Amino acid sequence: MSYVLGIDGGGSKTVCVLMDDLRQVLGRGEAGPSNYQSIGIEATLQSIQSAIHNAVEAARITNTLKINAICLGLAGVGRAADIEVVKGLVQELQNNKLPITWALQPANIVICNDALIALVGGIGQPVGIVVVAGTGSIVFGRNYQGHTKRVGGWGYILGDEGSAYKIAIAGMNAALKSADGREMSTSLIEGFKQDLDLESIEDLIEVIYRREWGVKQIAALAPVVDFAAASGDIVANSIIDDAVKELVKATSTVIDAIFSSDSVLEVVTTGSVWRGKCKMHEIFTASLVKKFPNLNVIFPRYEPAYGAGLLALLTTQN
């Protein structure tokens, strides 16, 4: 029996799954964040160690486990320099006291970005496309030949079209223009006032600038736009339509780059934007399938950490 570890490391938490070669999850553990670029190597190492320890403890296996492969899907890891840093981190993991025995070879260590494990976990195999639309956005695809293509993922200043952040910014911008008289009236004014308990829409200045709100706090305002759109607000629906167009264009670009237009494949959608009330997922699906009739747009079947486990397992089968 082969045992592998799948690690999903992000800016808010780290998830580890312990799997066997039958694709069964024997244990699952969580710990703190593991984005080394924001919290440093030592804190990242501690989080990953804790997640592994918690997964092994949850498995309740009395015998010492021999780990044959590991996959770490970490946020922000894409460049060669990042991969070298994480390789050193894996070496440190093997030097620390964990209730396991390491049997790793270089070929059985997979280091990748979190988009790949979201794809593999979401679909259940390493072929297809993932469309992430949460606080930020990115579209990532991988074909049967192992070729990959990324579109977006450039961050809230340079990109993230279709994300919750950009939807929230567009919503506030539209509300303020409406208040000025530059644009048509919109329920977004009252929406933001109620959500933020403002006396006037002008108080957005104090909230956004003087409180020094970050990306995640601003992105959390996207449901205001979603609710307005679901209620029939023309301005809000225009914002949602623009977001859908951007995500369809990004997905189409991935398809054109590494798949044929008549490919039969699955597109998994993940992130908070897809869970709204304004039927954004349905609009996206209809628009994409109109262009590519053989696509199947789905929600995730499994979590990203499971995808990391599957990628680790693949190295033991080659």
Q: Can you give the pLDDT of all 318 residues of the chain as single tens digits?
A: 789 999 999 878 999 999 998 999 999 999 998 887 778 888 999 999 999 999 999 988 877 788 999 999 988 787 788 888 889 899 988 887 777 889 999 999 999 988 999 999 999 999 999 999 998 899 999 999 999 999 998 888 898 999 999 999 999 999 999 999 998 999 999 999 999 999 999 999 998 888 888 888 999 999 999 999 999 999 999 999 999 999 999 999 999 999 988 889 999 999 999 999 999 999 999 999 999 999 999 999 999 999 999 999 999 886
Instruction: Check if the beta carbon of residue 112 is closer than 8 Å to that of residue 77.
Output: yes
Coarse DSSP helix, strand, coil percentages of the chain, rounded to the nearest 5 percent: 50, 20, 30
What is the predicted pLDDT for the residue at 318?
A: 67
Cα distance between residue 273 and residue 276, in whole Å: 6
pTM of this structure: 0.89
Task: Give the single-character DSSP code of 128.
Answer: E
In the 8-state DSSP scheme, what is residue 263? -
Nearest Cα neighbor of 297 from 266, 276, 270 is 266
Contact indicator for 72, 111 with CB cutoff of 8 Å: yes
Q: What pLDDT score was predicted for residue 264?
A: 93
- 6 and 19 Cβ atoms separated by less than 8 Å: yes
The pLDDT value given to residue 273: 95
Sheet hosting strand 137-142, strand order edge to edge: 148-152, 137-142, 128-133, 265-270, 295-298
Please say whether the beta carbons of 222 and 171 come within 8 A.
yes
pLDDT score recorded for residue 98: 78
Q: Which residues pair with 74 in a beta bridge?
A: 9, 113
Report the pLDDT value the prediction gives residue 193, as an integer from 0 to 100: 96
What is the token pair recorded at 13?
Answer: 């938490």
d(CA 292, CA 286): 10
pLDDT at residue 125, rounded to an integer: 93
The alpha carbon dihedral of 139, 29, 14, 84 has a sign of negative
Give the type of residue at 317. Answer: Q
- For residues 252 and 288, the answer to whether their CB atoms sit within 8 Å is yes
Question: What pLDDT, on the 0 to 100 scale, is given for residue 41?
Answer: 86
Going from the C-alpha of 109 to that of each of 20, 42, 106, the distances in angstroms are: 16, 20, 6
pLDDT at 195: 95
At 240, list the tokens: 């949602």
